Structure 1
Amino acid sequence: MKKIVLCATLFSTLVLAREYEANLKGHITIDSKAYIKPPKDAPEFFNTYGKFANFTREEKIASFVSKGNRETDYYLPFNNQPIQGHSGIKYDKNTDSYFVLTDNGLGKKHNSYDAMLYMHNFKLDFKDSSYKLVETIFFNDKNKKYKYPITTEATKERYLSGADFDLESFQMIGGDFWVGDEFGPFLLHFDRSGTLKEVFEVYVNNKELLSPDNPKLKFADLPEGKNMEFNIKRSRGFEAMASYGDKLYLLLEGGIYNGDSYESVNGKEFLRIIEFDTKSKKYTNKTYKYFLEDKSHSIGDFNMIDKQYGLIIERDGKEGVADKQCIGKNTANCFNNVAKFKRIYKVKLENGEAKKIGYIDLLNINDNDRVSKKLLVNGRFVFPFETIEGVDIVDSKHIVVANDNNFPYSSSRESNKTDDNEFILLEVSEFLNAK
């Protein structure tokens, strides 16, 4: 334990959220340029990736450099599909392996048509810092459960693409995958082979949640006509999802807009955690409020420890390490807006709120065993990524944390160099036992 900070609660009283020590016990990196081959029965269209990164088609391989916050060292399009964009993680005790979800591809509907949607199963050996890709499960809608057109509508296999869904969170229940989407937002139910079984629209207080990417929205016929309204910001759907027993806890990344403002209590905006029962296949009408430390922050992942306690990633939108911060006007080879807030909070679901009990700081991790594969910053291991979107409990002492490298756009370790996928094993005994 290091220090104490103050956090606002539902009733605007003050409670203590304590910072706890985290020690690095393992570190695995997967090169950003690692790739997988699409299935043999997939359309030829998926044999290359990134053709629409600039919104219009470009077929020539490596014809333009990728550019996110800065230009990176990766060129698009390229052959095959990337091992990229890890947006959720679950440790499977039965197989001692890790399931990892990839997101929609390049970030938007209109640039991700050729990005396939899939789940990886990895064996991660933190003792020797190695990994093995055991299986990739490609998602499909061959039984036509989604009522809107998809990219591969005319094919038999009907593989799903990043123009169809933006998959950001998941849980495994009864051998199936329950996946949170941001375009609808939708709750998606897949079987173990990756075939879509059910699609659930989302309601809170009997009102449907709609993002600007929801296929239900249509423009009016006339410029002066009235358009359908949406109440969730783009890319602010189900970024995180936890589960306990048969219940899912779906955490929105953005607040719900009620017509003139976002939901708030005493002027403080909050995010909704929405409970869903996988047995009855209905929303229970029970929700919890999660208050960000700053409204510019985002959440990254959510997993339950037990029936009442869970872990939530909260982060700023910045990236980069402090020892490479820019000095002066030349920002080509440095970071001008370095990461400052990357935390994992332990929360308690109680009285309609996810109350913050304590946290660990991902920019201030001990490396007592000298296992880091990256350079330390002022003697500390840091996880300085713009998007950190995976956390799960491994055992009573350890958690696993993973970044989303926003492939190929994020460059948080080295400016202008595409980030690798990284997995870290953290020893956090005192933190997990906090009450």
Structure 2
Amino acid sequence: MRRTLAVGLTLLTVTALAAPTTAAPASGPRQATLTNFAFLPAETYLPGSEPSGAALGTAPINGVTPPFADQPIQGFSGLVRNSDGTFDAISDNGYGAKANSADWLLRINRIAPDFKTGAVDVVGGITLTDPNSHIPFPLTRPDRVITGADIDIESVTRGADGTYWMGDEFGPYLLHFDRAGRLMAPPVPLPGVRSPENPAGNPNLGGSKGFEGITLSPDGKTINALLEGTVAGDTPGTLRLNEFGIAGNAFTGRTWKYQLEDPGFAIGDAIAVDSNRLLIIERDNGQGADAKHKRVYLADKRDRNNDGKLDKTLVVDLLNIANPKNVGGQANPFKFPFITIEDVTILDDRTIAILNDNNFPSSSGRTPGKPDNNEFITIRLADNLHADPRVLRRR
């Protein structure tokens, strides 16, 4: 089934806050609760757009046969909340690799969840371009529309001026786009760190292990950019969290280290709670019945145990979410068993939203043999975050 763009916006309402409670211990938090469930069907395409998926071949993948007559709306890898109940979701490099994504156009899609009906509408969006030739290497297209063979955007945050900052995995780079999706300045590389796709060569970071999570500080002056993979020479399973100064348009050199529970795991996204704390999605590489580790941690830069790493507190086990009311017709407990869970945002001091990257048409974590939908859930945490009020106000 194909879904076309809806013309209206759907407002997202959030329940009133409970009174503050004591933070849960790291060893075992109380169970979080599913409060809303909606989804965008896997086979959702942008009407009247360009064909895509030619490099995937012609054999069915999870029952879907490429190539596609239009651009799929999929691969949600970063999320920004808007004041009207809609969200801006970036679609990443396309089909999982530089070599097969030359006909995938990088895009910000504006989506509107309607939790009464369980639907997610696509109400608009913009395609990313580089009209002023800021990218220093040749692009796939002469019209300077940016494709998944050029850049792999995996994370996004938005400044007070409405412009978008995005984290890339091919450099890794930070990129600054205006509200129309036009690149405003040359990509900023992370000093001393290079992915295999970086034209500079001499990589010391694994492929697709660049900036998986970026987030704006509450004061709007810095960006924290978290790598997905370990830089060569660092302790296995440690990820660098890098500070970027917006005024100077440069990395400050200040870093912290986040420790994965297992060196084979990865992070999916990050968002600031205050100047010291972040929510971070951590995941294994399993899906469906093979999924064992899909979690959201509260990470603290202050390192109170002095081990040289961010302190971690488990706040949500995404494979064990209470659902006593069977929200969305889903089971109790509810599981979010996707290989890539790459979107988290804060709705209020006790409610977060989580989305999966469905890797269309390749992932099948919900139903074996069928491509995953883009699922949008909201979760009530067991305890308040006590977030910076500026984070809660940010739109």
What corresponds to 2:145 in structure 1?
159
What corresponds to 2:225 in structure 1?
250
In structure 1, stretches of 5+ residues that fail to align are 6-15, 40-46, 55-62, 67-71, 218-228, 322-337
1:123 deviation in Å?
1.9
Which of 279, 291, 312 does residue 339 from structure 1 map onto? 291
What corresponds to 2:10 in structure 1?
none
Which of 196, 209, 213 does residue 240 from structure 1 map onto? 213
Distance, in Å, in 2 between the alignment partners of 1:20 and 1:241 is: 28
Q: Which has the higher strand share?
A: 1
User: What is the identity, as a one-letter code, of the residue corresponding to 1:361?
Assistant: D
Distance, in Å, in 1 between the alignment partners of 2:247 and 2:86 is: 26
Change over 3 Å in CA distance of 1:17–1:249 after alignment to 2: farther
Deviations 1:316-349 (A, max 9, x none): 000013xxxxxxxxxxxxxxxx111100001112
Deviations 1:60-102 (A, max 9, x none): xxx3212xxxxx111100111001011111222x232211111
Which of 106, 125, 128 does residue 95 from structure 2 map onto? 106
Distance, in Å, in 1 between the alignment partners of 2:224 and 2:77 is: 16
Q: How does 1:12-411 map to 2 (within 5 A)?
A: 16-37=26-47, 47-54=50-57, 63-66=58-61, 72-92=62-82, 94-153=83-142, 155=143, 158-173=144-159, 174-203=161-190, 207-217=191-201, 229-244=202-217, 245-257=220-232, 262-264=233-235, 269-321=237-289, 338-351=290-303, 353-374=309-330, 376=331, 379-411=332-364
Distance, in Å, in 1 between the alignment partners of 2:90 and 2:361 is: 17
Q: Is the 8 A contact 1:17 1:359 kept in 2?
A: no
SS in 2 for 1:18: coil
1:201 deviation in Å?
3.3
**How many percent of aligned residue pairs carry the same amino acid?**
37
Matched, 1:414 2:367: yes
Q: Is the 8 A contact 1:186 1:199 kept in 2?
A: no
1:37 deviation in Å?
3.2
Q: Is the 8 A contact 2:295 2:314 kept in 1?
A: no
1:159 deviation in Å?
0.9
Q: Is the 8 A contact 1:358 1:431 kept in 2?
A: no
User: What is the identity, as a one-letter code, of the residue corresponding to 1:86?
Assistant: F
User: What is the identity, as a one-letter code, of the residue corresponding to 2:60?
Assistant: V
1:240 deviation in Å?
1.0
1:132 deviation in Å?
2.5
User: What is the identity, as a one-letter code, of the residue corresponding to 1:31?
Assistant: P
Distance, in Å, in 2 between the alignment partners of 1:87 and 1:21 is: 26
Deviations 1:214-254 (A, max 9, x none): 1233xxxxxxxxxxx21111000001111112211100001
Change over 3 Å in CA distance of 1:252–1:213 after alignment to 2: same
Q: Is the 8 A contact 1:185 1:209 kept in 2?
A: yes
User: What is the identity, as a one-letter code, of the residue corresponding to 1:33?
Assistant: E
Q: Is the 8 A contact 2:135 2:187 kept in 1?
A: no
Distance, in Å, in 1 between the alignment partners of 2:163 and 2:188 is: 19
User: What is the identity, as a one-letter code, of the residue corresponding to 2:120?
Assistant: Y
Q: Is the 8 A contact 1:22 1:426 kept in 2?
A: yes
1:135 deviation in Å?
1.4
- Computed over aligned residues only, the root mean square deviation of the Cα atoms, in angstroms, reads 1.9
1:198 deviation in Å?
1.7
1:397 deviation in Å?
1.9
What corresponds to 1:12 in structure 2?
none
User: What is the identity, as a one-letter code, of the residue corresponding to 1:195?
Assistant: R
SS in 1 for 2:348: coil
1:202 deviation in Å?
2.8
Aligned length: 358
Distance, in Å, in 1 between the alignment partners of 2:212 and 2:203 is: 18
Q: Is the 8 A contact 1:398 1:429 kept in 2?
A: no
SS in 2 for 1:64: coil
Q: Is the 8 A contact 1:103 1:167 kept in 2?
A: yes
Please give the TM-score of this superposition, normalised by the length of structure 2.
0.86
SS in 1 for 2:327: coil
In structure 2, stretches of 5+ residues that fail to align are 1-20, 388-395
Change over 3 Å in CA distance of 1:31–1:413 after alignment to 2: same
Distance, in Å, in 1 between the alignment partners of 2:30 and 2:127 is: 39
Q: Is the 8 A contact 2:118 2:328 kept in 1?
A: no
1:17 deviation in Å?
3.9
User: What is the identity, as a one-letter code, of the residue corresponding to 1:65?
Assistant: P
1:433 deviation in Å?
4.6
Distance, in Å, in 2 between the alignment partners of 1:197 and 1:104 is: 20
1:370 deviation in Å?
2.1
Change over 3 Å in CA distance of 1:19–1:104 after alignment to 2: same
What corresponds to 1:328 in structure 2?
none
